[in-house]
Amino acid sequence: MIDWSRAQFALTAMYHWLFVPLTLGLAVIMGLMETLYVITGKEFWKRTARFWMKLFGVNFAVGVATGLILEFQFGTNWSNYSWFVGDIFGAPLAIEGIVAFFMEATFVAVMFFGWNKVGKGFHLASTWLTGAGATISAWWILVANSWMQYPVGMEFNPDTVRNEMVDFLAVAFSPVAVNKFFHTVISSWILGAVFVVGVSAWFLLRKREHEFAVASMKVAAAVGLFASLVTAMTGDKSAYQVAQCQPMKLAAMEGLYDGGTRQPLTVVGEVKIPVLLSLLATRDVDGYVPGINDLLEGGYPLSDGTVAPSAADKMANGRKAIAALSDYREAKQAGDEARQAAARQVIDDNMKHFGYGYIDQPDDLVPNVWLTFWAFRVMVGLGVYFIAFFVLVLFLAWKRKLEEVNWLHYVALAGIPLAYLASQAGWIVAEVGRQPWTIQDLLPVSAAVSRLETGAVATTFFIFLVLFTVLLAAEVGIMVKAIQKGPESAD
């Protein structure tokens, strides 16, 4: 039942993420094109912006449908999780719906239907505000996700058996949330840029709309190169944060079982870069990076001068907290304040390892190393590839040879599925790498899941699989027809 619940949520999340990055990426590119129209007054840029806006609209609509289902699954499939931290997790999702979603839903209507009804300036503002709404929406969703990976700003209430928010700013602006936002959103610009370059290359292969295709490729490649470089920088920061907050995830990303100082970074196989992993993870070439076995066995030095506890020690502490919680509730019912206070102290002392009390054996703390290891390499490898790709496109544009290099057009088309693969791989690293935790160190998936019949979850898995596949096929079909039709006149 747990596996089916995880599979259903993963299915929904991965389908939803097929639509979100293209929405975020196209929003920036079409906004820049309309800005050029307003500045220059050339109808060419209006026509260009409207073409990409049409593809944005189709993608946006389908993304909304999958996103709504995803949010409801927190209540249907993960009700224990929703009960345990709903007071915290629900806040950013509520703000996302009330502020960001309504903002983009309002201005997207002006953007699509207001071309001949509002002034140029107001329409341009509506285009940018639609993209801003989608980006703000991503901010609050990523705040919620980051809190699951780095829980801060809360306090456990043994009377309600819930974690309650005590510092909204700590939740909303945690360093993990801020970095994850920039890394995720700006990497989405890469996908949008690759998509625009690839579709434009198709027009060049068909010897159609040369001016439109070349101009679109120039704008998209400039956005893509900027986004690729920023994503690389935020990726470095993300790796450092993972090393500090989720060392088991880092060990899985590197396939590192036995750690130590001056650790090399594994490129692939036996190809390693000396001391680079220690430098990236600790900002010190002599820094100690624990491996999977070290994390399970404990005993290695921590940055604060203490020694890391073993997985068995953490599990024992977690069980102390769970037992003390039961004792606290019994004492409260009996009116024994002294016993209640003593139990509360035990809970507070061991709360940071609370979730370990639900772990059956230490090996359960190890995520899928093979999948995490290779997903990380796919993400990083393709990220480096796209930097080189955008540099080449911009170089050929500067040399005025974009139309002549036919092989590049095929490469550009092939880049579209590669961009989606890199984007999905990033989320696989983030989510598979943190297993078995729903909330890092506080709640494993085994304790977060709803009490449902396995058959019911399995049945709805296949219903969603069919539904999402039909939606995806419909979206691709509509977008292909729109692309084949090409940009229409601005009138």
Compute the average pLDDT of residues 194-208: 96
Could you tell me which of 82, 86, 88 has the C-alpha nearest to residue 167?
88
Out of 35-39, 57-61, 381-385, pick the least confident.
57-61
The reported pLDDT for the residue numbered 491 is 45
Phi, psi at residue 402, to the nearest 5°? Answer: -60, -35
Could you tell me which of 12, 162, 17, 15 has the C-alpha nearest to residue 72?
12
Q: What b/e readout covers 71-85, taking b as 16+ CB neighbours within 10 angstroms? A: eebbebbbbbbbebb
**Distance between CA atoms of 40 and 33, rounded to whole angstroms?**
11
Domain limits, the chain: 2-254+369-485
pLDDT at 294 over 90: yes
Compute the average pLDDT of residues 423-428: 96
Write the DSSP symbol of residue 100. Answer: I
What residues pair up with 191 in beta bridges, in sequence order?
none
491 C-beta neighbours (distance < 10 Å), count: 8
Tokens standing for 388?
A: 């080189």
Q: Is 202 left (phi over 0), alpha (psi -120 to 50) or beta?
A: alpha
**What is the pLDDT confidence band of residue 270, given thresholds at 50, 70 and 90?**
confident
pLDDT in tens, 351-398: 999 999 999 999 999 999 999 999 999 999 999 999 999 999 999 999
Write the DSSP symbol of residue 226. Answer: H
**Distance between CA atoms of 108 and 4, rounded to whole angstroms?**
36
Could you tell me which of 438, 434, 446 has the C-alpha nearest to residue 247?
434
Long-range contacts of 99-105 (CB under 8 A, 24+ apart): 99/136, 99/140, 100/133, 100/134, 100/136, 100/137, 100/139, 100/140, 101/133, 101/137, 103/129, 103/132, 103/133, 103/136, 104/129, 104/130, 104/132, 104/133, 104/134, 104/137, 105/133
Q: Are 153 and 165 in contact (CB under 8 A)?
A: yes
Could you tell me which of 192, 184, 257 has the C-alpha nearest to residue 415?
192
Compute the average pLDDT of residues 322-328: 95
Phi, psi at residue 272, to the nearest 5°? Answer: -130, 150
Tokens standing for 263?
A: 């650790």
Could you tell me which of 461, 394, 347, 90 has the C-alpha nearest to residue 221?
394
Q: Are 143 and 89 in contact (CB under 8 A)?
A: no
Q: Are 153 and 160 in contact (CB under 8 A)?
A: no
pLDDT at 172 over 50: yes
61 contacts: CB under 8 Å, gap ≥ 6: none
271 C-beta neighbours (distance < 10 Å), count: 9
- Which segments within 403-484 are labelled E, that is strand? 437-439, 443-444
**Distance between CA atoms of 379 and 424, rounded to whole angstroms?**
8
Radius of gyration, CA atoms only, the chain: 25
pLDDT at 296 over 60: yes
For the CA atoms of 61, 62, 63, 66, what is the dihedral angle to 10 degrees? 130
The reported pLDDT for the residue numbered 261 is 93
**What is the pLDDT confidence band of residue 2, given thresholds at 50, 70 and 90?**
very high
Q: What b/e readout covers 206-239, taking b as 16+ CB neighbours within 10 angstroms? A: eeebeebbbbbbbbbbbbbbbbbebbeebbebbb
Write the DSSP symbol of residue 258. Answer: S
Look-up of token digits 């068909």: 206
Compute the average pLDDT of residues 461-469: 94
The reported pLDDT for the residue numbered 105 is 84
Q: Are 30 and 52 in contact (CB under 8 A)?
A: yes
**What is the pLDDT confidence band of residue 69, given thresholds at 50, 70 and 90?**
confident
Q: Are 419 and 22 in contact (CB under 8 A)?
A: no
What residues pair up with 155 in beta bridges, in sequence order?
164
Tokens standing for 351?
A: 């709360």
The reported pLDDT for the residue numbered 489 is 57
Compute the average pLDDT of residues 301-318: 92
What is the pLDDT of the chain when averaged over all its residues? 94
Compute the average pLDDT of residues 266-277: 91
